[in-house]
A and B are shown apart, each in its own frame.
Chain A
Amino acid sequence: MAKRTALYAKHLEANAKMVDFAGWEMPIHYGSQIVEHKAVREHAGMFDVSHMTIVDLSGSDATDYLQKLLANDVSRLQEKGKALYSGMLNQDGGVIDDLIVYKADSGYRLVVNSATRAKDLEWMEKNLHGFSNICLTERPELAMLAIQGPQAIAKVKLVKPEAATAIDGLKVFQGRGQAEWFYARTGYTGEDGLEIMVPDAEIAAFWQSLLEADVQPCGLGARDTLRLEAGMNLYGNDMSETVSPLQANMAWTVAWEPASRDFIGRAALEAEKAAGVPTKLVGLILEGRGIMRSHQKVIVDLGADGQGEGEITSGTFSPTLECSIAMARVPKATGDHCLVDIRGKQVPAKVVKLPFVRNGKKVCE
């Protein structure tokens, strides 16, 4: 039996097409994925992301624990509410999951992927060994709604005026709690907006008020095309336990300093760096006809070294660029062009730096 979020009835009311996602019955779209995508780029859309796993950490050892558990360094979180994106690595430097950690009033709040929930919690518990004063609490009673787009923040303030002051004080990548609600200026779309954690019992009324304020319900389909345009990784596609963050465009999330901080996976990453990282994650824009999809082969010309091969990790049609875009893992020496094998045809593509789109505008060359 698939799990349902507290917004299940609201999805049906909005004519959602529901699909199974990591054991949850979730909306894939409410009619047109492209309409939903454009709503987020042009005004405001909302996504039920209650399936994601929220874990609160408290206790005097919480900071030391997270400095060991995460490749990024929570000591960078000086300001209250500040958020940090990080990989949680295994000993081999592979990515167990990617997550956001917020510095909460007391302790930390982590948001991890739902598809990886069981192994994440197991790994987190296993690594509690050696820490005595720490408490790890999952928060399944909290729903989470992402409201994204240039008008997203204004819409939330309109329907929740009592939170306006708190929201106005938020910098990008910062969150703030108010009673049982937690407002964070984060997202997965490349637009400004909020991710709001709300008690299950209160989420349906909040959804309804946003709906009446013309915020477009958006499904997992639009969530995927938006994040891909924004150059944001999807766990399981663009990164995995067998790929290091250095090969997944996540080198910026690895805090090497201080050198004394011995986070899990550090030794493997140092060895990889010393040996030379063999691949990189890049953006592709298809120049011919067709749609790039994950696992298609990428062929690159490496000059004197002959031909190299890479692989599409995520591919789709970009509603903003109106052509196919993809992320691909390719040899480090890849230049600015490649060929993609689309069902036996070799179609030319341009190699670009990620992201493709930010704040409604194409940013790649």
Chain B
Amino acid sequence: MANVPSDLKYVASHEWVRIEADGTVTIGITDFAQEALGDVVFVELPEVDAEFDADAECAVVESVKAASDIYAPLAGKIIAVNEDLVDAPEKANEDPYGEAWFFKMELANAADLDGLMDAAAYTAACES
């Protein structure tokens, strides 16, 4: 059974969102997603300062078997990307909620956070 930490928020496309103390968000892919992808061997991250609408394709993760798009879970601007993950993409399998964060965003509209799923809702979505 996939690990779904209760202190994070989620979107149906299997990204997790951690709300930081300063109001920015950190984003990665869930345990369920890494499990479905299999061995991750390549990650392409967005440019810092790039702006995205919610649900826009903004990064790519590739496992041995397939490429998969990563979507911006919320509208906003990229303020940091995890360069260490580019050099060690296997971290996405080993530590999806920790070392393998993908990027950080400054939100266009903090109220958008209300539209995210909590752990229980995401778990239910994965099981359906």
Interface status of B83 (Cβ within 8 A of chain A): no
Asked if B118 lies at the interface with its beta carbon under 8 angstroms from chain A, I say no
Contact assessment for B39 and A32 in the assembled complex, using a CB-CB cutoff below 8 Å:
yes
CA distance A317 to B63 in the complex (A): 8
Contact with A along B35-51 (1 / 0, CB 8 A): 00011011010000000
Q: What's the least CB distance linking A325 to chain B, in Å?
A: 12
Is the CB–CB distance between A291 and B38 below 8 Å? no
Instruction: Tell yes or no: B60 within 8 A of A by CB.
Output: yes
Counting CB contacts under 8 A, is A151 at the interface?
Answer: no
State the majority secondary structure of interface residues on A: mixed
* Given A33-B64, A316-B64, A343-B60, also A291-B39 (CB < 8 A): no
| Known A290-B44, A317-B62; contact A29-B38, beta-carbon cutoff 8 A | yes
A343 to B38, CA, bound (A): 21
Tell whether, in the assembled complex, residue A317 and residue B38 are in contact, meaning their CB atoms are under 8 Å apart. no
Number of residues from A at the complex interface, CB < 8 A? 17
Task: Give the distance to chain A from B86, nearest Cβ to Cβ, in Å.
Answer: 8
Cβ of B56 within 8 Å of any chain A Cβ, yes or no, is: no
Q: Which of B13-60 touch A at CB < 8 Å? A: 38-39, 41-42, 44, 60
**Contact of B110 with A by CB under 8 A:** no
Instruction: Fill in one digit per residue for A29-46: 1 if any B CB lies within 8 Å of its CB, else 0.
Output: 100111000000000000
Report yes or no: B64 in contact with A221, Cβ–Cβ below 8 A: yes
Assuming A290-B44, A317-B42, is B65 touching A33 (CB within 8 A)? yes
Interface residue? A129 (CB, 8 A): no
- Residues of A with C-beta under 8 A to B64: 33-34, 221, 225, 316-317, 319
Is B120 interfacial (CB-CB < 8 Å)?
no
In the complex, A289 has a CB within 8 A of chain B: yes
Q: How far is the CA of A33 from the CA of B36 in the complex (A)?
A: 12
How far is A166 from B5 in the complex, measured between Cα atoms in Å?
56
What is the distance, in angstroms, from B35's C-beta to the closest C-beta of chain A?
8
Q: How far is the CB of B62 from chain A (nearest CB, A)?
A: 5
| Residue A185 CB within 8 A of the other chain | no
Cβ-defined partner of B42 (8 Å) among A33, A224, A289 = A289
Residues of A within 8 A of B38 (CB): 28-29, 32-33, 221
B41 pairs with A317, CB closer than 8 A:
yes
Contact, CB under 8 Å: B39 / A290 = no
List the A residue with the shortest CB-CB distance to B60.
Answer: A343
State A32–B64 Cα separation when bound (angstroms): 10
> Is the Cβ of B42 less than 8 Å from the Cβ of A34?
no
The residues in A between 213 and 232 inclusive whose CB is less than 8 angstroms from any CB of B are: 221, 224-225
* A33 and B39 contacting across the interface, CB-CB below 8 Å: yes
User: Does A176 belong to the interface (CB within 8 Å)?
Assistant: no
B-contacting residues, A184-226, CB 8 Å: 221, 224-225
Question: What are some 16 contacts across the A-B interface (CB < 8 A)?
Answer: A32-B38, A33-B38, A33-B64, A34-B41, A34-B64, A221-B65, A224-B65, A225-B64, A290-B42, A290-B62, A291-B62, A293-B66, A317-B42, A317-B62, A317-B64, A343-B67
10 more A-B contacts (CB under 8 A) besides A33-B64, A221-B38, A317-B41? Answer: A32-B38, A32-B39, A34-B39, A224-B65, A225-B64, A290-B44, A317-B42, A317-B64, A324-B42, A343-B67
**Which residues of B approach A to under 8 Å, CB–CB?**
38-39, 41-42, 44, 60, 62, 64-67, 93
